[in-house]
Structure 1
Amino acid sequence: MARVKYLFIYLLLQSVLEFTYGQPQVKFFRDDYKYLENTRSFYKVHTIQRTWENAKRRCAMEGASLFYPEDQNEADVVLTHLNETQPSYPWILIGISSKLAKGVFKTIDGLSVRQVYNKWGPGEPNDAGGDEDCVILRRDGTLNDDKCSKKHPFICKKTLASLKWNEQCNVPYMDYKYNEALGRCYKFHLNPLNWKDAIDACDSEHAYLAIINSQNEADYLVNITAEAPKDKVKGLYLRGAVHLGFSYDPSENGWRTNTGETLDGAGYAVWGNNQPDGGEDEQCGSMFYNGHLNDISCEVQKCFFICERENELLNILSERFGE
């Protein structure tokens, strides 16, 4: 009987995910992306202006890529969308640059600009000042080279053909893993960031920096930390700690999770020896690899981090069937 019940739940879940959520059949990627049928792709106009490198990085964080027009049709479709949503923008950054070889403009995929969209404005590219290695797309559909250090609006793109869907976690990111006992999904990030940037990275994946609510959850985070291939990651970052979603709240004179609970109220307040010990210099949260809590700088130290996401649909089904 139990097997029949679980089979029913699985089939129901599959059906709902297929026809309600983000499967390619219903053409959904993320709720902040717009699907355009004429190009069979999803787009997000970013109004917070960034440099070319930061725009490229932001799109990658969202599981997408910095947009560039592949042909005249895509340029027309996207510019029409831009005009309808952000009519005041005269241009946007696009994923074409000559950063690797001066004067040789290639896409972020390594294609020559001649293989995609090669409609330059009059006299462009002119490399004014000798440092115009990135490209903007003007509202009139022409390209212009510009400084990579300048901040501009930009668009991220995800093709329908490249979309894969994590059905267990209901996200377009296959590296989130569902833990049935905890009813949540987790991802261990191997790209060390500071605490504030880790918050942003989780948010870009429609998740949040992990919050420990029980000893069982702490044990699970310790386990996925131990299993992560951390030793293969090179560079300067703090070994031995992983960012988590809590920080010191001066107005409350205590540590609180990013959802506003005290650590005791959230269900886990096991600090490491002599922690917290950083005072005003360390007002954000992490855990040692053994699961004990640790205070850390919010902006200075880069660490690995864990994102957490609740799958509301799975939780509803679990509650419904008393599991």
Structure 2
Amino acid sequence: MFTKTLLVYFIVYILSDFSYGQRDKKFFRTDYDYIETTKGFYKIHTSEQTWAGAKRVCALEGASLFYAENRAEANAVISWWKTVQPNVGWAFVGISDIITEGIFETIDGKLVSEVYNQWQRGEPNDLHGDEDCVHLKLSGDLNDYRCDGESYFICKKSLASLEWNDLCNMPQLGYTFSEDTGKCYKLHTTPLNWTEADTVCRTEQSHLAVINEKLEADYLANFTKSASRRRIKGDYLKGIFHAGFQKKLYEDWQTVRGTPISSDASLWWDNHLPTEDQHKQCGSMFYTGSLNIVNCATKSLFICEREVDTETLGEEEYYE
């Protein structure tokens, strides 16, 4: 135990000294760019989402759906946008009149009159009576648009709001470092199917937990005990957690890391390695820590895992 404690102190020291996630390093995530003049990090998503979906993706990344606070920020972001994604003509921003028809406000409750509000001529016009969300165009104009329509979108993280999980070397504070495995984990208690769970983990720059040894299985069995004490709504399979392995078409069982699954029978429920089952193509872990297979459409809780990266990155690209 003393040795493990020393190891944790050593990792904290190393990451505190060299971590690229501190504010003075001006780093948030590898897929975000920092704009010096606005003191913020930005990302244009080119996988289209509805407005609500865009808001959710930004939140999963630890950011929020962007809106320009003022003309200076709008100009800076549009200049950056023209550099990184010049072929994207418009994107959802964090403004809507969903709460009260005709009163546009930001995702954090500011009236649109208090922030950048250069509307395109004739807008907002609520075409067909269902345009309650807002696009920012590359021209700098705002336009109301259907919330259920899919579009590109921009996420933002302000430098002032940046916090850092030193032990896990990431901005996601919900991850817990394990002294036993040297990895970080997060228990998600919103039931999803396997594919949705996999997407959430990847969005958080981690992956569904890959369990290759008894030590890790025992740790995760204990780590997930709290789930049994929670009142979680929804129709889902209790007592299991999605895990990071699956059987793709015409391929053998493999982990989400692209490696073969563990052949150690003691890790598997009833000591049975997975077999061919056209209805069960995804991986799971029982609350006991034993591995099993499950229908990919089954909804359950899940565990995301991240290997701790102690290496620093090179200089990030800044935009003035």
Q: Which amino acid in the other structure matches residue 307 of structure 2?
A: E
Q: SS of 2:185's equivalent?
A: strand
Q: In structure 2, what is the equivalent of residue 203 of structure 1?
A: 202
Aligned match for 2:307, one of 285, 289, 310: 310
Structure ranking higher on relative contact order (CA contacts 8 Å, 6+ apart) = 2
Q: In structure 2, what is the equivalent of residue 218 of structure 1?
A: 217
Task: Give the Cα separation in 2 of the matches to 1:58 and 1:65.
Answer: 8
Q: In structure 1, what is the equivalent of residue 170 of structure 2?
A: 171
1:33 to partner: Cα distance: 0.5
Contact 2:245 2:256 in 1 (8 A): yes
Contact 1:257 1:266 in 2 (8 A): no
Task: Give the Cα separation in 2 of the matches to 1:285 and 1:193.
Answer: 13
1:304 to partner: Cα distance: 0.9
Q: In structure 2, what is the equivalent of residue 287 of structure 1?
A: 285
Aligned length, in residue pairs:
311
Contact 1:55 1:154 in 2 (8 A): yes
Contact 1:19 1:25 in 2 (8 A): no
TM-score scaled by length of structure 2: 0.88
Given the superposition, is the C-alpha separation of residues 289 and 12 from structure 1 closer, same or farther in structure 2, using an over 3 Å criterion? closer
Unaligned runs of 5+ in 2: 312-320
Q: Which amino acid in the other structure matches residue 310 of structure 1?
A: E
Contact 1:272 1:293 in 2 (8 A): no
Q: SS of 2:283's equivalent?
A: strand
Given the superposition, is the C-alpha separation of residues 95 and 287 from structure 1 closer, same or farther in structure 2, using an over 3 Å criterion? same
Contact 1:270 1:293 in 2 (8 A): yes
Contact 2:193 2:298 in 1 (8 A): yes
Contact 2:11 2:167 in 1 (8 A): no
Indicate the larger mover: 268-277 or 156-165.
268-277
Contact 1:17 1:170 in 2 (8 A): no
| 2:234 maps to 1:235 | yes
- Root-mean-square deviation (CA, aligned residues, Å) is 2.7
Task: Give the Cα separation in 2 of the matches to 1:109 and 1:15.
Answer: 36
1:203 to partner: Cα distance: 1.1
Given the superposition, is the C-alpha separation of residues 12 and 233 from structure 1 closer, same or farther in structure 2, using an over 3 Å criterion? closer
TM-score scaled by length of structure 1: 0.88
1:1-323 correspondence to structure 2 within 5 Å: 10=9, 14=13, 16-228=15-227, 231-252=230-251, 254-265=252-263, 269-271=267-269, 279-298=277-296, 300-313=297-310
Given the superposition, is the C-alpha separation of residues 153 and 54 from structure 1 closer, same or farther in structure 2, using an over 3 Å criterion? same
Task: Give the Cα separation in 2 of the matches to 1:230 and 1:42.
Answer: 38
Task: Give the Cα separation in 2 of the matches to 1:266 and 1:163.
Answer: 42
Given the superposition, is the C-alpha separation of residues 41 and 214 from structure 1 closer, same or farther in structure 2, using an over 3 Å criterion? same
